[in-house]
Structure 1
């Protein structure tokens, strides 16, 4: 019987039955389909999250709001993002879509939700890329001041750095997705290694402190813990960006879900370790994590290992460049998908004939990513202040997109006849948490020093609404196409190609 089965299998492979009804061309044709392995796809999510930069900077921001509840805030944020990842993976296991989250929302909730999610993704990816370019400029200036104390951080110098880093990103991304993915991964792994070296040295150098002294919340109110959790969520955003490479992944239904899941788990572990190290260091050496503008450098100096600060500044500058590469990759593919659907200008949906990259979408995306932060800097915001403004916008975009996809999850599963309680419950919990976090974040920022971010978000929301109104009048057919995803062609299946 085994021999017969083997013979039947070999016959089916060598002379398969013809498969009819497949499109001759994928809606996403032009990209480098089925070319990326797991490591390349992993590089996309890791680079977009920029865990080394987040691990160095976010604990102090969370501590400023949650105090002794910092570790708990990171833990709660990690659980919430794990639930979001579980909801997103209900889609990534079933379809490969360059538009990722907005395609998923459109398939679950329809055209309006798809359009709103697309707008939120453009805000999220675009403003994170701006944040990353500003971060690269900020830490490059910090590094230059350490080696050349006379270097001044004037507005023209910051703008020049933004132009240089933007040009580097365009050059790398234009040449091909595999090159950019591997450059991103190498940079981010080196930066994570630097952070881990710092953590190891600090844990070995600072006097020991009890775990309960820094890990157990004391006198923290519910609103303070919620505010800290909201900030901690921003450290995870971008984990889902591997889904934008679904068309280019070699095994998208296995590679993309695994990447999304493990990015959240690994980033969460690194953040908890880094936050504990910083809390324990300040507890042992004196001072306050919440009031420090450069906590790891301060700890290194107090512990007598100031040389680590030099290493860290270089690592953070590189990490931010990797984040800019990954975020721009995702942004360009969302623009490419919108161009293919006819919602955005069709030129954005073109791919380079030789490098098979969405080169026009890349050029426009990077131009905006450089111009907006340059304008903020020329308006007399220093890079750190400008980073604070754009990261609020990015976080709001991401949380809006995540919320809509979570809401879409049970409707999508019911539509395809695969509804189960577990993913629907997880998506409902995640959506509720995200709505609460987003509302709290906007309320806090509107009444705080970063009110400009709320103003920018309001203007962006109005622009998105007007764009939708224009599309309803002039591009009705394009709106009905929203949510295109990759489809198998004859050459992808046995019996499909002659």
Structure 2
């Protein structure tokens, strides 16, 4: 017997490992790069965002819609590269919440957790409203006399039921279904946009870059913040890192790839819509469904209807992807002792955070239902939920960008590239968010008040949770267990056990 064979047969004991991971209960190492990419793509929902978010950007930055989307793409790529610094070093279901806690400590970690939960919840509500809006829009074309609020409410309930089923059943089903939906929807949108560009003819580049009017940096910044909402969710693959194969390699690839592909689609969509409405002499921001209107104007009405079907399905995929990430953050916070222990329980058969799903879905579906029942215009409701969600995302992005250099310095791996990327992203996002609030306030909007109230509530909750949690640390991540280590010996106690 060789020395290697003897070492394998009778390894020296290696102490200090637990008998189970702090995040036990999730299906570990079961999903591959395709499912990870599907999660991020579903949360971003590029087919839906390519049409709806461009319309929202045009509303706040009418002269610089395309530049605002390009700026948002660059910012999002910087954040994606920064998130990757954490994702390639450890696997954590809490993603940005855990990353920030590991870099800046308990208080900042709780703030990031509150922010990203707000982001996921707001965008999930936006996605459910968007799916209901487009479903109602499509049905109204067939039955003009239908009761739109009733149909919208029914669509919300059906979508919520589908989301609940898929989330409890498992990520394999949801990820693959979302990927198929998004692939078909994006392909359809790209083909339609290409045909429209050919029909539009020569493009006025001046109209595209806003050269016709005086440059308004505040509008550009506000538009960039709104445009960032088209990318938010790209980091959600990190919430599945515990469940993925080779997470330290695959998660960063899925995150960065999603931003690059989505950015290319959004620039194409923005250029087409700006050029098309400019050629028609119509205000883009006044359109109810820009791609549908352009298709009708250029004799492609049937394509527009099919595109709307794809957009509706894309919104549902977004709701699934975003809620998938949300419930895993709730799960991680429970395992850290921040939330009640039952929230961290998993389904005995499917290995999914079923209790967290039961906690989150009534809120995510209930708020849109109340808005529709209260007679709020669905487009206004979509704008508010998306804006609040975007603010939550951006605050979480800022915190994780601040945390990254601190974390890298602590482990002795800080270099100039990641530090500069994280610093530029943090400063630019902070400035853009401030400009967005100023733009909203000058326009008589109430988003600052809504977000201010939410911030005050979360600050109070964070203070209570911090007091409840005590001086200990948070930010549990997946760790090797004794059974996975040659000669591994379980410790008597594991600090991460729930």
Normalising TM by the smaller chain, what interval?
over 0.9
SS at match of 2:148: coil
**Separation in structure 2 between the aligned mates of residue 17 and residue 176 of structure 1, nearest angstrom:** 39
Residues 292/228 of structure 1: CA separation in 2 closer, same or farther (3 Å cut): same
Query: Which shifted more, 482-491 or 240-249?
Result: 482-491
Aligned partner of 1:142 among 137, 142, 150: 137
Residues 254/359 of structure 1: CA separation in 2 closer, same or farther (3 Å cut): same
Alignment of 1:255-404 (within 5 A): 255-404=250-399
Residues 8/322 of structure 1: CA separation in 2 closer, same or farther (3 Å cut): farther
Residues 314/473 of structure 1: CA separation in 2 closer, same or farther (3 Å cut): same
SS at match of 1:67: coil
Which residue in 2 is equivalent to 1:165?
159
Displacement of 1:289: 2.2
1:441 and 2:436 correspond: yes
Alignment of 1:7-22 (within 5 A): 19-22=14-17
Displacement of 1:70: 2.1
**Separation in structure 1 between the aligned mates of residue 345 and residue 321 of structure 2, nearest angstrom:** 20
Alignment of 1:229-248 (within 5 A): 229-248=224-243
Displacement of 1:157: 3.2
1:189 and 2:194 correspond: no
Given that 1:20 and 1:496 are in contact with CA atoms closer than 8 Å, whether structure 2 keeps it comes out as yes
**Separation in structure 2 between the aligned mates of residue 264 and residue 484 of structure 1, nearest angstrom:** 27
Gaps of 5+ in 2: 491-498
SS at match of 2:39: helix
SS at match of 1:290: helix
SS at match of 2:64: helix
SS at match of 1:247: helix
Aligned partner of 1:104 among 99, 103, 107: 99
Given that 1:72 and 1:217 are in contact with CA atoms closer than 8 Å, whether structure 2 keeps it comes out as no
Which residue in 2 is equivalent to 1:174?
168
Given that 2:17 and 2:489 are in contact with CA atoms closer than 8 Å, whether structure 1 keeps it comes out as no
Gaps of 5+ in 1: 1-6
Which residue in 2 is equivalent to 1:471?
465
SS at match of 1:200: helix
Which residue in 2 is equivalent to 1:486?
478
Displacement of 1:35: 0.6
Residues 10/182 of structure 1: CA separation in 2 closer, same or farther (3 Å cut): farther
Residues 461/216 of structure 1: CA separation in 2 closer, same or farther (3 Å cut): closer
Normalised to the residue count of structure 1, the TM-score between the two structures is 0.93
1:251 and 2:239 correspond: no
Residues 193/341 of structure 1: CA separation in 2 closer, same or farther (3 Å cut): same
Which residue in 2 is equivalent to 1:3?
none
Given that 1:377 and 1:383 are in contact with CA atoms closer than 8 Å, whether structure 2 keeps it comes out as yes
**Separation in structure 2 between the aligned mates of residue 265 and residue 12 of structure 1, nearest angstrom:** 47
Displacement of 1:212: 5.3
Render the CA deviation track for 1:392-413: whole Å, top value 9, x for unaligned: 1000000000000001111101
**Separation in structure 2 between the aligned mates of residue 491 and residue 497 of structure 1, nearest angstrom:** 8
Given that 1:146 and 1:310 are in contact with CA atoms closer than 8 Å, whether structure 2 keeps it comes out as no
Residues 10/93 of structure 1: CA separation in 2 closer, same or farther (3 Å cut): farther
1:73 and 2:68 correspond: yes
Residues 456/66 of structure 1: CA separation in 2 closer, same or farther (3 Å cut): closer
Aligned partner of 1:457 among 444, 451, 454: 451
Which residue in 2 is equivalent to 1:218?
212
Given that 1:389 and 1:450 are in contact with CA atoms closer than 8 Å, whether structure 2 keeps it comes out as no
Displacement of 1:14: 7.5
Residues 147/358 of structure 1: CA separation in 2 closer, same or farther (3 Å cut): same
Normalised to the residue count of structure 2, the TM-score between the two structures is 0.93
**Separation in structure 1 between the aligned mates of residue 3 and residue 157 of structure 2, nearest angstrom:** 61
**Separation in structure 1 between the aligned mates of residue 252 and residue 468 of structure 2, nearest angstrom:** 37
Given that 2:61 and 2:222 are in contact with CA atoms closer than 8 Å, whether structure 1 keeps it comes out as yes
Residues 126/370 of structure 1: CA separation in 2 closer, same or farther (3 Å cut): same
1:153 and 2:145 correspond: no
**Separation in structure 2 between the aligned mates of residue 92 and residue 117 of structure 1, nearest angstrom:** 16
Given that 1:69 and 1:218 are in contact with CA atoms closer than 8 Å, whether structure 2 keeps it comes out as no
SS at match of 1:132: helix
